[in-house]
Structure 1
Amino acid sequence: MNNDATQESRPVFPTLGDGPNSAPPPSRSADAAAPAIRPNNIYAPEKRRESLESRIPRGPVLCHTGKRTALSLENRCFSKRPISRPWPRHSADRRTIGCCAAWSRAYRCPGQRGQETRTGILLDTETTGLDHRKDEIIELGMVKFDYTAEGRIVGVRDTFAAFNEPSAPIPPEITAITGITDEMVAGQRIDDAAVSAFVDDAVITIAHNSGFDRKFAERYWPVFEQKAWGCSATEIDWHEHGFAGAQLGYLLNGTGFFHQAHRAVDDCHALLEVLDFVLPTTGAPALALLLKTARRPTLRVWAEQTAFELKDSLKRRGYRWNDGSDGRPKSWFIDVNESGLDDEIAFLRAEIYMREVEPSVQRLTTFTRFSRRA
């Protein structure tokens, strides 16, 4: 929390609207041959229907060992049908997201030449438990992608997936959820320098539960403390846009995908498809709405020293409990937009304290929101 003043003085997303993070792709004559389909090449003709083998990236990818190596055809998974734009969005055209980091939209996303793009990171962790202070990361997955100022994803640059051996055996319940065993992580370590290099040019990191993933990521790699963060689970009201819920499985079902894995980098690829989905309610990709929400400051209102019997009223209002073990107040709290602050204070005065009070209010930006420092 001590860093709020420092962070608030800097512009939110300094490069999201001010300039590109990568040079525009080189121009190519109309009669030139289409380049080979590779992970770092985002050219893909609209009507192209290449065979499965022709869509396999020939270059190396960052695999689970943390070393760059080529993957064979047998180890790659793809969608059930050839991919071209536009895709039908009805139930008969469901597509399956495969269980390999090499499956990437990079070889099917046409971008407009000369268009300014920014770079983002999709991140997911698998851990030995829920406590970021004592539990450990056992897998890190990331997808680096380019997007336009309008929130349209134009390509994937690279993927990162690596295991980490924890200091104690993986709990059986974690293996049951993730499929990660002690044998899979034995002797594995995540290269800190490789992580820092991978995320260095990104202007935002997005996770589907940033309140969980950011705290773990910051503990292991301080580079994430300096990044803007967005949360695709909480910074889009998915119910408002016709989805059954905010869980990744619900979102994939609503966008026409099946998901067959619970592994870090596969969840990142799944999230990429969700954020690229054009919401019927807005006519824009979900990523555009997420970026718009993430840019806005929020205010955390602390309802301290409230009567125990009022806890149900606070919970119904959306307040969450903090037990004080992390150095923050032992208190109920809620995050609201700036426009909702007066209503929240009025609620506390009328329904909780029954008197005039000035509750503690903390301002959060995309640089501090979801952080263990907030």
Structure 2
Amino acid sequence: MSTPTPNSLTPKQLAAEKARLVADARAEGFDVVRVAAPDAIPLAPERLAAFLAEGHHGSMAWMAETAERRADPRVLWADVRSVVMLGMNYGPDQDPRALSGEPERGNISVYARNRDYHDIIKGKLKLLAGRLASRTGAEVKVFVDTAPVMEKPLAAAAGLGWQGKHTNLVSREFGSWLFLGSIFTALDLPVDAPERDHCGKCRACLDACPTNAFPAPYRIDARRCISYLTIENSGPIPREFRAAMGNRIYGCDDCLAACPWNKFARAASEMKLKPRPELERPALADLAALDDAGFRAFFAGSPVKRIGRDRFVRNVLVAIGNSAEPALLPAVRTLLEDPAPVVRGAAVWALSRLAPDEFERVRMAAQAAESDEAVKEEWRALGPAIG
């Protein structure tokens, strides 16, 4: 029997293919699968343009460079006829904000406590898309996060949930805890109805943000977001946000965790996305001691690995500065001599917080000996310049 061509499939056959795809996806561990038309997000280009014009993307230049493709799936791939949006629950079994009460521990965002979800999801999407293409003869493409696809608006258009006031997707079944992926196909699959906004007057997510990163509901200024500051930002953490970071050393879950719809969510199943125990509440002292090789080994297979040791230890030092734990001073003193300026600068700030008297005693000599201007500025920030 010959493989059918996409154009030869009847509406009944297309509906059957969609049902088979949904069943297949659930068997692969996806919790929700729905379909949107490629023209289902007509407001996206205007909203993206406004976001970029306001500079709210910060240093993420790739967002501007890919804006045209990002705003319209048909620009990314002209032959797309349907966008299959898939969600996988990664809900934690407890509120991640509870870890803020353990200042000597590092708080890594829930999504990064397991294997890199890009790898987990993309492999599954390729399997599903390959089977669909084999059955129907239709071309397919798969995308996960790093591609120029506006996954959250498309997921809302497909009915997986709605974009909450924190700009993330919210589901009535899974709260704010869904990984998203997409399959673009040349098939005209039956589309699903979009989900309506259920946020109402609630502003719990906005009020939970430690750095006031939301200039208005449904708008985010990434430059103020702890996830951006700890992951995308390659330079020093701006001083105005350091105290607010607390012990958040990779990402931030506060706006997600504050969403009341999470009460209907359930923890991810044992077989899918349970966190690695060593990443749930790691000791800051141990993390500060990581050299490049140790960092790569400890975070093997984790998305944390992508930011590199220096940027990560910078984050750890900010958390140490917020810890009020004198026992962490030896780590700070060691890192004052680190080869990486971004690490030395963060160590200066941590020293000023944990041992202000010691900071004043060594400041002038250390400032004079420092070769990097950004680190010199850290020494100057809490005292008069010398020379």
Category of TM-score, reference length = shorter chain: under 0.3
TM-score computed with the length of structure 1 as normaliser: 0.28
Structure with the larger strand share: 1
TM-score computed with the length of structure 2 as normaliser: 0.27
Structure with the larger helix share: 2
Structure with higher Rg: it is 2
